[in-house]
Structure 1
């Protein structure tokens, strides 16, 4: 058989392997390209494409790709041009050596965009467990632990791994020690694809392990590393899918935006000379598209500039303000289908092109009527034959008639799907529609948003709390944004979206036609301010006749005594009216009733200074005022601090919101001017440090539900970022009963403490029990806490112990996390008498903890002050080093101590080799510098160094060695010196 015939036969066989005998594909893509030759070897992907692209970025490369430079460097080209050249060369090679069907390669190059292959259901730890089985390594070995704990650097004895946080890189380190193939494997790209299809279709660990064994037998470690990246869909090769699609075909990105289908892009656009017609560049029914996205806006103060970007005209200066919903972006397709129950067929896709028709429904009636479709039969006007809607799927709680957080959406949808009745209570999915992109066979994306909205209103009637048109406000000035933002802050909403009603719909774009506006505290805000109320403003409507908002101030000098001119004196800082409940108003009224005085602008109270010029400080004048000594302390949230002449401080809080009444605080405990300015400086410094991280987070377009970073706190310090999800298993198996907020060393609410415990694997209960393992936490002596103390059945722990455990675990990166033993003074709020002595053993005589690092300067100062002024005991070097060893600080990791305790005897060479004598002299210096001792006699030696190649003579007694000493080669000493630590002796030992 001729070579060309053999190649054709291999190509046909591979085509069947990848696509099977699928008549439906031939019918759907009658002109799809056929490769006349077999696909390229899998290793060509990283040799000719991935590695060269990573080289061109000049950034840190994964270990597997770091071994050699790519062959396609071009110093006279920009990095972007160099990357384009690399991709163009690979595609040209494919066309020449394989054919025009580039789909097998494309789905491996940008696997995150491949919607044809199902998710594997494999994350890092699952892959690690499979690789441990495949390579047959002990699950308790260092290598096994390094893969399982791939995020932890430096936790193992043999040095610090450079692949911490890079799972594929960590796998490469392990696999490269035990490869079945040292050269590149023989699997083709087609074979890899068909095997990955099998992997995606099985959920059995046994079958998954069998498939990985097949890869392990036929791939070298570098190939396996890239395979793992493909499975995890975490390529990061230095080129975006936009660049790759554009190089493949000028219309590839356009077709992908309207179809989200790589197969269609590769099979319909295989010839760069054939371009899409105008009718082929628009979205189509029942075909998922890439939606338009709102641009980020991280400077709330630039509302005027934001409005200017919305392109107002003299004839039409309007823009639209919509509430930003906390849900999942969803597109709804509906088309007539005579065979469908109810006559209509539905499709639902998320922004990531995930098909949700199984959940929300395919038909009005029958088995495939889901959590939404069976309730919206009367949603559309009778003339609607087909339609595509763009909107947000949210969770609505019917009991409180309010939106619920995104995390409840899927649970609510599953519950509603299983519930066959139209319940008027509980949580349900609600589709809020804000755009119509297709109506009765007409594409609407070329039309303005204003026209599309009119089409939406004409086609959709809506069903209450099932499918509704999302409302908007037509505005004409940037000054209208802030009041709306205040409203959504008060309602705990996510923010606003500003839209240009004159704009067309642009697929898969973020531009200034849609801009999201979020209060800065959504991403930067942490704790709050405790301020004294000095004024009240009467409300209107249902709040008429009572104070609806309050003026808060800062104490000028909280240490001033009665009779002093500064006693009780306050400067106005902000006005707050949002966040109060009926109960809050009632509590405030009850505590201040009869103590308010009408504000007389002709004779203003001397102890309360308002904003404005010195001769007329009347800005934000309250209707009534109250003396601080008669008043209350309130805790308020804020987005940020900004300059303002409306308040005496010259500053104010942006978007302040009431959080809680601090009935536990006296007026003298409220913030003073000096304390506030110190907090402001700390907040600004921390904000600047985190601004870069925040911008990177936005540029990567991550989910908005990130951990909240602190801005200002009610105390003298900043607090740690609030936990937003699982961080560790530090408290796994422990149950906590948290009774109060934390007061010291920083203030934290009970909810924040519970979130920290949950984020680190702990369980929370809301009442005490007889459980012996229950950890009771309190920092205030409330009635319920005193009651528990009288029972004398439980120790009560201060909340600071929780934070100390977390900080210690974060500080000991690489070590297995452990719980700190309780310290009597720092950690114990109430200690049972029987356990007093045992807990005192956890600290030394000066109160310094044996197991916990000192946290700050104040703690160090307190420990030093409790120590004796003079120490009678002299410092003993050997005893100190021994103590370090006892505390787990291995001296072998310090270069000048790594041979400490060793007595080394150098055996003579039989041949009196001059090279041996030189090496022995150099090694002698290594031993001495690193804390060891070189001895001249065999007696008492711990190690005997034998000349290389004379181990046989040593074992026969021809070389002078010590009986019990360990025999090593010169290579062991040289390797230890090179690595900077004592390495395993087994590879160099013959004794």
Structure 2
């Protein structure tokens, strides 16, 4: 009622002047706006002063963001009416609601002037300013007459670097650095009197200014009327980097219950504020659906869970309809295409193109068939059925190389589109290709409430492929989780983005990330990882809490003699990748300690090409230019784990690691022993060859012929004298050409002494060696945790195989009569210890229940497999799912939110009387892990030892796990792994915390 009364108040003179100021000089005149929005609301009073925004909204939200929160925690906060229970989420809503209520009462019903400053990144009506940190820094330097050699000038232009003499707490925070510089020179200490409407008008002028000479007077006017804190927040608004702990969803829903729904179908803050004025009047039904030429917020794919079966279960298949779809995830830009009949447009059809972030790309891809500046529409005239009057398509815009007939990485898309605009019919250059995977509107009817399966039928009826211009994205039907892994391995081998699993029974949910679309990307799959030892050659200063310090590093490959130009320096390195994830505080400290005083500022005009060469070297460009560089001889070597190798012109060798993550500092290595260019090329070729041999194919029949060669890296130094004991003579050639080292007796399922195993192997063609050595493909046999086996396990560089594998190979050779040699691929039950690199390949040799693909199992083993087949347990609420939904897209894996630290982990915590056990459990639970109380459960991925225990007790624990017959061995780690990961806000590598006997 109060809102309605306020809306009826007559605007005062100040409010009229502000309305003219805000809406009289923008892209639309006030008359145009009044015609388009005849019922648009008018405020009855002046808008709040600009400083009211940060004093009563931004600063309180920032303080609230810092409050500790956790599961089932209720904290008391003293309010105006006494003590009350509140948590940060509730208090955030209260802060926003109080501001909105004050606005309705004191200003009026038009909230648009405020919300476009509160969430500037969602404001589509104001163009981009064309200003980044360095551009604003130059303007401020000119405004204050600062040279780039002065302390403050240097600090502004090098905002990521530590200040020369000032405190480094603002390093990495450009707006904060501006505050430090401006407050020493500010003309006023108290906030100015500029209103929100006046600031909006000045920002409109700034967005229209394209040159520094035009932008400078606007900054000077703002500087003269604002204090340093106001300028700091204004700069954050210009950069669209607010980070106050409140999303547009929360704010829009507090303005009106249907605020988010209208924003999802329109992507317009203006429409939300001008069409949803009264909170008591709901959104009309015809306004709640998507519409032609109105950009909507698309549905997004959910992050992958830790098992394929769990992902399939999330899509709720039924016995009658177990189907789900597997699509390749494309490496491009999400795009929606709108098309409608319009006789006023040449050609009779009008098009609109918008990205996922609601950026209008119609200027690039074309507004009609006759658009001479089009990179797309002029080529797709024959794509649509004659019965189509209008439609909206959802898809991915990618770059296609017609000569190689392959997809090109995303970074080339805009360049290819601009080139296509200029030379539209040159057939050999890379060009945009629109891959369509959904249709959401057809002939005046929204389709979002229809199932995906029905939408797909409509898409295929109304759309025809235009070869390598506009195509329907294909999918593969599947009914079991086993069909996912071969598809994923296939796209990874082709250097693709990954997969998307889709539920064909699902509806389209705007601006939502849910389990109907599930994303499977190789960076989430540790079994694809490789570890490489590379030398650090450059550093990048961080932002936020890492401001003023090196937070990520450029790593390179040493160019050895055979590849190095004759005139080059012996220490020459080629840039290879950047890494910033997986480090903890002590890792940064160790690198700083070893390299202190050895870093040099990067000079773009005089790059250290004799030591370091970057991407773009041949074009005199400097891609991925570091802030500082270091000579390889002064640097350190780091071991890095990555998902895969992909092509990239950003780095000197033309390749880079995808999703690299720091594993450990190699203090035992120098730059001379780091990975060289030649070694990497050879390693890459080997891995690619092995990947082809390991290709996993699912079939309904027995897979006796599915032999796979597994990667075996033996790097243990030992006695390699060959055993010369007599044997009974070779009876088969099963192990011909293979080298074995037997370290212990066999105890299960039958007893065999070490000598008996050696005789069996030798009599079937194998060569026996006395100790593990660096011989290629040596197979180490161990069945008990004797000293030699324990030392190998501790070193963690080679697999240890049980004697049962030897017997299974011989047994299968007897079944497959006529085969001179049949090697059963390693299976989890064959392994006493598995390295991290081999774990994924070994697991792929059995199905989800442990049944072998390559050998016949006996009756007893089949009974055990049946016994272990547990039914899927379904529950309602899932904490892990809720955390993933709340976190949403854009989570920086370099600095994970604590709510997802341990997602995918199932942890057993040792029982002890230490009261710290519950703290460890709470950290794991809040980080998304599952706690398992039964050590026998095969789902356990980590065992956490809470307190220092006797060697014997840890040994008993390890023995119990080893003899449990499980398919995958969990990591046994100290509680420091949990604590350090929690403190560093990133999941650290477990190998560094392994508890050894």
Q: Normalising by structure 1, what TM-score?
A: 0.57
List structure 1 segments (4+ residues) > 6 angstroms apart after TM superposition.
4-7, 69-74, 525-541, 546-549, 565-568, 619-627, 695-698, 703-708
Q: Secondary structure at the match of 1:306?
A: helix
Q: Secondary structure at the match of 2:417?
A: helix
Q: Secondary structure at the match of 2:368?
A: coil
Q: Following superposition of structure 1 onto structure 2, how do residues 441-520 of structure 1 map, counting pairs within 5 Å?
A: 441-519=444-522, 520=525
Matched, 1:418 2:422: yes
Structure 1 position 70, deviation (Å): 11
Aligned partner of 2:121 among 107, 112, 127: 112
**Unaligned stretches of 5+ residues in structure 1:** 61-68, 573-599, 628-640, 658-691, 709-991
Q: 1:227 to 1:642 in 2, by over 3 A?
A: farther
- CA offsets 1:934-974 (integer angstroms, 9 cap, x no match): xxxxxxxxxxxxxxxxxxxxxxxxxxxxxxxxxxxxxxxxx
- CA offsets 1:14-63 (integer angstroms, 9 cap, x no match): 11111014322111111000112211111111112111222222359xxx
Matched, 1:701 2:921: no
User: In 1, distance between residues paired with 2:471 and 2:340?
Assistant: 19
- CA offsets 1:481-539 (integer angstroms, 9 cap, x no match): 01111111111111100111111000001011101001231535789879899999799
Structure 1 position 73, deviation (Å): 11
Give the aligned partner of residue 980 of structure 2: none
Give the aligned partner of residue 85 of structure 1: 94
Give the aligned partner of residue 795 of structure 1: none
Give the aligned partner of residue 764 of structure 2: 603
Asked if the contact 1:336–1:344 (Cα under 8 Å) also holds between the matched residues in 2, the reply is yes
Structure 1 position 75, deviation (Å): 5.8
Matched, 1:653 2:838: yes
Structure 1 position 346, deviation (Å): 0.6
Asked if the contact 1:364–1:374 (Cα under 8 Å) also holds between the matched residues in 2, the reply is yes
User: In 2, distance between residues paired with 1:534 and 1:465?
Assistant: 32
User: In 2, distance between residues paired with 1:112 and 1:501?
Assistant: 33
- CA offsets 1:341-362 (integer angstroms, 9 cap, x no match): 2221111100011111111111
- CA offsets 1:710-739 (integer angstroms, 9 cap, x no match): xxxxxxxxxxxxxxxxxxxxxxxxxxxxxx
Asked if the contact 2:11–2:43 (Cα under 8 Å) also holds between the matched residues in 1, the reply is no
Aligned partner of 1:193 among 197, 200, 212: 200
User: In 1, distance between residues paired with 2:354 and 2:50?
Assistant: 33
Asked if the contact 2:336–2:392 (Cα under 8 Å) also holds between the matched residues in 1, the reply is yes
Q: Secondary structure at the match of 2:487?
A: helix
User: In 2, distance between residues paired with 1:450 and 1:49?
Assistant: 45
Asked if the contact 2:740–2:767 (Cα under 8 Å) also holds between the matched residues in 1, the reply is no
Q: Secondary structure at the match of 1:616?
A: helix
Aligned partner of 2:321 among 316, 319, 342: 316
User: In 2, distance between residues paired with 1:232 and 1:321?
Assistant: 39
Matched, 1:96 2:120: no
Q: Following superposition of structure 1 onto structure 2, how do residues 583-598 of structure 1 map, counting pairs within 5 Å?
A: none
User: In 1, distance between residues paired with 2:47 and 2:408?
Assistant: 50
Give the aligned partner of residue 735 of structure 1: none
User: In 2, distance between residues paired with 1:604 and 1:25?
Assistant: 88
User: In 1, distance between residues paired with 2:691 and 2:384?
Assistant: 53
Give the aligned partner of residue 637 of structure 1: none
Q: 1:534 to 1:560 in 2, by over 3 A?
A: farther
Give the aligned partner of residue 644 of structure 1: 828
Matched, 1:433 2:617: no
User: In 2, distance between residues paired with 1:403 and 1:646?
Assistant: 41
Asked if the contact 2:739–2:766 (Cα under 8 Å) also holds between the matched residues in 1, the reply is no
Asked if the contact 1:536–1:551 (Cα under 8 Å) also holds between the matched residues in 2, the reply is no
Q: Following superposition of structure 1 onto structure 2, how do residues 17-96 of structure 1 map, counting pairs within 5 Å?
A: 17-20=21-24, 21-58=29-66, 76-96=85-105
Aligned partner of 2:739 among 569, 582, 603: 569
Give the aligned partner of residue 351 of structure 1: 356
Q: 1:405 to 1:340 in 2, by over 3 A?
A: same
User: In 1, distance between residues paired with 2:297 and 2:361?
Assistant: 15
Asked if the contact 1:103–1:263 (Cα under 8 Å) also holds between the matched residues in 2, the reply is yes
Asked if the contact 1:555–1:570 (Cα under 8 Å) also holds between the matched residues in 2, the reply is no
Q: Secondary structure at the match of 1:618?
A: helix
Structure 1 position 163, deviation (Å): 1.1
Structure 1 position 124, deviation (Å): 1.0
Q: Secondary structure at the match of 2:243?
A: coil
CA RMSD of aligned residues (A): 4.1
Q: Secondary structure at the match of 1:199?
A: helix
Give the aligned partner of residue 181 of structure 2: 174
Q: Secondary structure at the match of 2:321?
A: coil
Higher-Rg structure is 1
Matched, 1:267 2:270: no
Asked if the contact 1:486–1:655 (Cα under 8 Å) also holds between the matched residues in 2, the reply is no
User: In 1, distance between residues paired with 2:244 and 2:122?
Assistant: 14
Q: Secondary structure at the match of 1:435?
A: strand
Aligned partner of 2:386 among 382, 388, 400: 382
User: In 1, distance between residues paired with 2:67 and 2:696?
Assistant: 61
**Which moved further from structure 2: 206-215 or 552-561?**
552-561
- CA offsets 1:437-494 (integer angstroms, 9 cap, x no match): 0111111000011011011011111111111111111100001101111111111111
Asked if the contact 2:804–2:830 (Cα under 8 Å) also holds between the matched residues in 1, the reply is no
Q: Following superposition of structure 1 onto structure 2, how do residues 660-809 of structure 1 map, counting pairs within 5 Å?
A: 699=887, 701-702=889-890
Give the aligned partner of residue 395 of structure 2: 391
Matched, 1:328 2:337: no
Structure 1 position 185, deviation (Å): 0.5
Asked if the contact 1:55–1:70 (Cα under 8 Å) also holds between the matched residues in 2, the reply is no
User: In 2, distance between residues paired with 1:646 and 1:326?
Assistant: 39
Aligned partner of 1:407 among 399, 408, 411: 411
Q: Following superposition of structure 1 onto structure 2, how do residues 481-560 of structure 1 map, counting pairs within 5 Å?
A: 481-519=484-522, 520=525, 521=643, 522-524=658-660, 550-555=709-714, 559-560=718-719
Asked if the contact 1:534–1:553 (Cα under 8 Å) also holds between the matched residues in 2, the reply is no
Matched, 1:131 2:140: yes
User: In 1, distance between residues paired with 2:885 and 2:284?
Assistant: 38
- CA offsets 1:373-401 (integer angstroms, 9 cap, x no match): 11111111110111100000111111111
User: In 2, distance between residues paired with 1:452 and 1:493?
Assistant: 26
Q: 1:25 to 1:560 in 2, by over 3 A?
A: same
- CA offsets 1:520-561 (integer angstroms, 9 cap, x no match): 3153578987989999979999xxxx9997454344866544
User: In 2, distance between residues paired with 1:534 and 1:648?
Assistant: 23
Asked if the contact 2:364–2:421 (Cα under 8 Å) also holds between the matched residues in 1, the reply is yes
Q: 1:237 to 1:615 in 2, by over 3 A?
A: closer
Q: Secondary structure at the match of 1:384?
A: coil
Structure 1 position 653, deviation (Å): 2.8
Give the aligned partner of residue 243 of structure 1: 250
User: In 2, distance between residues paired with 1:696 and 1:383?
Assistant: 42
Give the aligned partner of residue 279 of structure 1: 286
Matched, 1:361 2:366: yes
- CA offsets 1:552-577 (integer angstroms, 9 cap, x no match): 434486654453369972589xxxxx
Q: 1:288 to 1:125 in 2, by over 3 A?
A: same
User: In 2, distance between residues paired with 1:563 and 1:548?
Assistant: 28
**Unaligned stretches of 5+ residues in structure 2:** 1-7, 69-77, 526-642, 644-657, 663-674, 698-704, 726-736, 743-760, 769-777, 780-800, 843-879, 897-997
User: In 1, distance between residues paired with 2:349 and 2:82?
Assistant: 56
Q: 1:352 to 1:703 in 2, by over 3 A?
A: farther
Count residues with an aligned counterpart: 612
- CA offsets 1:140-180 (integer angstroms, 9 cap, x no match): 22122222222123x4234x332111111111111111111
Structure 1 position 618, deviation (Å): 2.0
